[in-house]
Amino acid sequence: MSKTETLVRALVDKHGKSRNSLMPVLQGVVKEERYLSEEAMLEVARELDISAADVFGTASFYTFLDTVPRGSYVIRVCKTIACHMAGKDVVIDALSDMLKIKVGETTVDGKFTLLTANCLGWCHKGPVMLVNDEVFPQITAQKAVEIVEEYARKK
């Protein structure tokens, strides 16, 4: 059994073999593998007896359930109004310069993906970004770069 298959089966065992478990199972896969590969979606479909298209269609509805490969660290900078006013553009530009990728892209070493997000719920402390599940409010261009550098030093 491949790594992905093992992961999916474990998640299905944990959450149960019903349609209601689809979200937690997909979330579990993304947590481990950062995105939903074709293999993972097929395996989930088989395990939960849902059509593959339906799994893909459902996953693609949700911004955080990516169906294209993502880096180990997914950076999401809020682009909505309050953060816009607070200067999200300079943050994004700084990260983009530092990582040498545009929004939507992943670094060649597969470490970082740079994305934007809609309101993250920290509008009084914009700009704000998420790195995977961790949140960083009140950032500046420089602070954002430092935070990402910190991640870059992790293995």
- H-helix or E-strand spanning residue 129: strand 129-131
- H-helix or E-strand spanning residue 74: strand 73-78
Draw the binding track, 36-75, toward another protein (x: CB under 8 A; -: no contact).
Answer: --x--xxx-xx-x-xxxxxxxxx-xxxxxx-x--------
- The C-alpha atoms of residue 83 and residue 54 are separated, in whole angstroms, by 35
**Identity of the residue, 80 or 132, whose beta carbon is nearer to ligand FES in the bound complex:** 80
Which position among 23, 42, 123, 135 is part of the footprint of ligand FES (CB under 6 A)? 123
**Identity of the residue, 7 or 77, whose beta carbon is nearer to ligand FES in the bound complex:** 77
Under the binding rule (CB under 8 A), the answer on residue 122 touching another protein is yes
Draw the binding track, 95-114, toward another protein (x: CB under 8 A; -: no contact).
Answer: --------------------
Judge contact between 26 and 59, C-beta under 8 A: yes
Under the binding rule (CB under 6 A), the answer on residue 122 touching ligand FES is yes
Under the binding rule (CB under 8 A), the answer on residue 7 touching another protein is no
Under the binding rule (CB under 6 A), the answer on residue 75 touching ligand FES is no
Long-range pairs for 61-66 at CB < 8 Å and ≥24 separation? 62/23, 62/26, 63/117, 63/118, 64/27, 64/30, 65/26, 65/27, 65/30, 65/36, 66/30, 66/34, 66/35, 66/36
Given the rule CB under 6 A, which residues bind ligand FES?
Answer: 78, 80-83, 119-123, 126, 128
